[in-house]
Amino acid sequence: MEHFIAGSITLFSNPTSVLIFIAGLLGGMVFGAIPGVSMLTLAAILLPFTAQLTAQDGIMLFSVIYCSGVFGGAITAILFNIPGAPENAPTAFDGYPMTRKGQAGKAVGAAVMCSALGGTASALLMMVATAPIADWAISAFGPPEIFALVFFGLSVASSVGAKTLWKGWLSVLFGLMIAMVGLDPVGGVKRFDFGVAYLLAGIHFIPTILGVFAVSEVFIQAERRATGIYEAPKVNLDFPTFAEFWKLKFAVARSVVIGFFCGILPGIGATLAAFMGYSEAVRWAKDKTKFGKGELEGVVSSETANNAATGAAMIPLLALGLPGGALTAMMVGVFQMHDMEPGPLVFINSGDLVWVVFAAMFYANISIFFLGWLQTKTVVHLLRVPFHLLAPAILLMATVGAYAVRGLVIDIMVMFIAGIVGFFLRRSGYSVAGIVLGLILGKIGEQTFAQAMQMLHYELTGYLDRPIGLGLLIVGALTLIINGYRAVKGARI
């Protein structure tokens, strides 16, 4: 506790540090909301300038950007079905239907509260448990366990958002197919490139996500206008009540654990945390069919989990020097610019710096609550603008977002084609959530499967010595079998 107090005093006693804290908070929130641009662009722009700052201020800035950036993308995900970043995609699954039902204020308010809660809980856990958890996570979790986790996530994802289980599966498998385009992760063999150089680098998930979410949504609303059945969403500024939140206390607690656990794993991070949090909410629900149609628990689970991953992502970075994702990889750069190496010695040689960062992340998550409340009362009014006037702005923001990823015009074309494909798939009862999850987890899944098979000498019985992986595989398989049995036996009427 005394370390936390000392870190807080160090943070707030320096006006420069306070200004950097505020700039990181606001910048992360704004950039996080812009699809394709995201907090990573802001971090990349600021990286060279951190050489002018102290090591403490530089690391603190990036950690605050991480916290507020992960939250920032939730607003556009809920209001316009445009996730600011992949970790906000599950928020759109139920957040946007809530907007269509006139509950935008409630959805945004829930995202604000849960982002703050998840991030704060994660920051507290991070302060208490960094060293022991880092040791356990790195030794207990290898490619076999990560593959089992991906398998489990995909098995649950197939039951989300589609008209039937089989369409859910087809959506996930279609996403896995898209992820295979390019070079295979083991031998670098060209696959499904059709002789086109662009496809060798694979189809990037940002233009695809922008296409199947934002662009297809514009097309769907345009179709509704064309057939005369368009209904403008009602604007509602109600914040969720305490009673509504209290009913979801288990979902929040579960999502904090899931998010924290996923955040610790290097390379996995907030994206898988958000999808796993959402998937578990569906799995535990008594009535799964209400998800994807505007269920508050979906928004709560996703946003709690993705922010809970932020504190956890600092654990492998600070304790072991292993970056958990792109932003934490840039933080390694900040350390190196100041002649420091992240790892166990950071706690011994620069304990003050570590506790300033912990304190900054804690206060950043608390601040999200207040800033987010302001956003709830202001940004929601954008819904009053007629959709046909907003549509070109949405398409252009998505265009810039798709182009900003790699500077390729063809990414914009991929986005619009993904939008057309998403439009037809959604009309036919398929799940864009499943496609996105298959796309994002496909590469991780194949790579870890290959590594797992090599480690286990191609014998699945090797999982008997790995209880965590075995448990995840069994639960995933049971989920598939039970869902499949219900689908085959059950009738729709």
Site of interaction with another protein (CB under 8 A): 37, 41, 45, 164, 166-167, 169-170, 173-174, 176-177, 180, 184, 186-187, 189-192, 215, 218-219, 222-227, 229, 388-389, 391-393, 395-397, 399-400, 403-404, 407, 409, 412-413, 415-417, 419-420, 423, 426-429, 446, 449-450, 453-454, 458, 484, 487-488, 491-493
Nearest CB to another protein, comparing residues 223 and 352: 223
> What is the DSSP code string of 289-330?
GGTTSS-HHHHHHHHHHHHHHHHHHHHIIIIIS---SHHHHH
Q: Minimal distance in Å, beta carbon 450 to another protein?
A: 6
Nearest CB to another protein, comparing residues 36 and 342: 36
Q: Minimal distance in Å, beta carbon 231 to another protein?
A: 13
Nearest 5°: the CA angle 417, 419, 423 is 120
Nearest CB to another protein, comparing residues 214 and 256: 214
> Over 235-268, what HEC string results?
CCCCCCCHHHHHHCHHHHHHHHHHHHHHHHCCCC
The count of C-alpha atoms lying within 13 angstroms of the C-alpha of 445, restricted to the half-sphere facing its C-beta, is 22
Nearest CB to another protein, comparing residues 43 and 391: 391
Tell me how far apart the alpha carbons of residues 374 and 370 are, in angstroms, rounded to a whole number.
7
Nearest CB to another protein, comparing residues 222 and 475: 222
Nearest CB to another protein, comparing residues 130 and 448: 448
Main-chain phi, psi angles of 429, to 5 degrees? 90, 15
Q: Minimal distance in Å, beta carbon 412 to another protein?
A: 5
Q: Minimal distance in Å, beta carbon 492 to another protein?
A: 5
Name the DSSP letter for residue 459.
Answer: -
Nearest 5°: the CA angle 335, 338, 342 is 25
Tell me how far apart the alpha carbons of residues 450 and 437 are, in angstroms, rounded to a whole number.
19
Nearest CB to another protein, comparing residues 94 and 303: 94
Nearest 5°: the CA angle 56, 69, 355 is 25
Nearest CB to another protein, comparing residues 177 and 329: 177
Nearest CB to another protein, comparing residues 235 and 453: 453
Rg (CA), the chain: 22
Q: Minimal distance in Å, beta carbon 45 to another protein?
A: 8
Q: Minimal distance in Å, beta carbon 25 to another protein?
A: 18
Q: Minimal distance in Å, beta carbon 209 to another protein?
A: 16
Name the DSSP letter for residue 213.
Answer: I
Q: Minimal distance in Å, beta carbon 169 to another protein?
A: 4
Name the DSSP letter for residue 363.
Answer: H
Tell me how far apart the alpha carbons of residues 278 and 304 are, in angstroms, rounded to a whole number.
10
Structure tokens given for 373: 């409340």
Structure tokens given for 187: 């031998």
Structure tokens given for 419: 């939008």
Q: Minimal distance in Å, beta carbon 180 to another protein?
A: 5
Nearest CB to another protein, comparing residues 132 and 392: 392
Tell me how far apart the alpha carbons of residues 198 and 190 are, in angstroms, rounded to a whole number.
12
Tell me how far apart the alpha carbons of residues 411 and 199 are, in angstroms, rounded to a whole number.
11
Q: Minimal distance in Å, beta carbon 164 to another protein?
A: 6
Tell me how far apart the alpha carbons of residues 395 and 385 are, in angstroms, rounded to a whole number.
15
Contact assessment for residue 415 and residue 207, using Cβ atoms and an 8 Å cutoff: yes
3-state secondary structure of 109: helix
Q: Minimal distance in Å, beta carbon 23 to another protein?
A: 14
Nearest CB to another protein, comparing residues 54 and 451: 451
Tell me how far apart the alpha carbons of residues 379 and 371 are, in angstroms, rounded to a whole number.
12
